[in-house]
Structure 1
Amino acid sequence: MIEDKLILDACCGARKMWFDKNNPNAIYGDIRSETHELIDGRTLEIRPDVVLDFTQLPFPDETFRLVAFDPPHIHDLGKSSIMAKTYGILSYHWRDDIREGLKECLRVLKPYGVLVFKWSESSVKLSDVMPLLPQEPVFGHTSGKHGRTIWMTFLKK
């Protein structure tokens, strides 16, 4: 199954950033597998292909050509809030988690593979995340209604 996949989404959540939420080239991973009934009656599903911890990815070195890494980025949420259910909660040990997650994402990339890292400054400023990066991003872009979401792109050498 993994052999034919080119892309890893290391913490897919509800796959909100995907145009094709069942892209045949991707394997979707998350630490959660759960379903929630929202207050407006909709259903929120977190259904990864593989339940995993992004700090210890269960894949061999140099497996994927592209890795998407959009970890939880808010730490002051109630566990029952819609934001927590949708995106997860940043842990108390978030610095170690992000540092190890980025290292793992690069480990499973093939040489010259691409890592796309998304961060939102909702709770933690990018300036606090930058020292955790294992290498300098090639380029990035700020987006979102208030310009607090940052997309960074890395090339594995």
Structure 2
Amino acid sequence: MDKRVIDVACGSKMFWFDKHNPDVEFCDNRTVPYHEYYPHRYIEVSPDTVCDFTALPFEDDSFKLVVFDPPHLTWAGDTSWTALKYGCLKGDWEEMLRKGFSECFRVLDPDGVLVFKWSEVQIPLKKILPLSPYPPLFGHRSGKNMNTHWLCFMKPKEALKDGK
């Protein structure tokens, strides 16, 4: 793989300045054709690779930067614009996110960085952090209600020595 960056749950690539950046492998478990989902609001989910972030089809240590912005809602109508735009966590979401973190660290280069975004609309960050095998280095709250967290992770050096 020649790309250095992977977004494992890209959705409609909302926060990307270049939604076709050739250095980014955009992944999502779904595709949604370009269409108007609300008057004058359009959406398209068009990943490079259709896959589940709990089982990424990439080699270990493949990417310098991993972006993990998983769905953060546990309830939303199946046909709602919210579910369409952001996705929805179904079933055992804690195990799903635990596996997602594990996969993100697996494909992350030993000196790479994982950027994680979480919105506390329905689930507080304090319930999410224990699902990661490693703690974040630092983070920042943002958004109108300060509900969105941006966190930065790296594999600890001890994990690299243990071959994890």
Q: Same fold (TM over 0.5)?
A: yes
CA deviations over 1:18-51 (Å, ceiling 9, x no partner): 0111111101000001124313154311000000
Gaps of 5+ in 1: none
Gaps of 5+ in 2: 157-164
Matched, 1:68 2:73: no
User: Where do 4+ consecutive residues of structure 1 move more than 4 Å?
Assistant: none
TM-score scaled by structure 1? 0.95
Q: Secondary structure at the match of 1:4?
A: coil
Task: Give, in whole Å, the separation in 1 of the partners of 2:57 and 2:130.
Answer: 26
Structure 2 match to 1:25: 23
What's the offset of the Cα at 1:126?
0.8
Task: Give, in whole Å, the separation in 1 of the partners of 2:50 and 2:143.
Answer: 29
CA deviations over 1:54-94 (Å, ceiling 9, x no partner): 00000000000000000000111001111110110012211
Matched, 1:15 2:13: yes
Aligned residues: 155
The 5-angstrom pairing of residues 17-96 of structure 1 reads 17-35=15-33, 36-96=35-95
CA deviations over 1:110-140 (Å, ceiling 9, x no partner): 1110000101101101111121111010111
TM-score scaled by structure 2? 0.91
Matched, 1:103 2:102: yes
Between the aligned residues of both structures, percent identity stands at 48
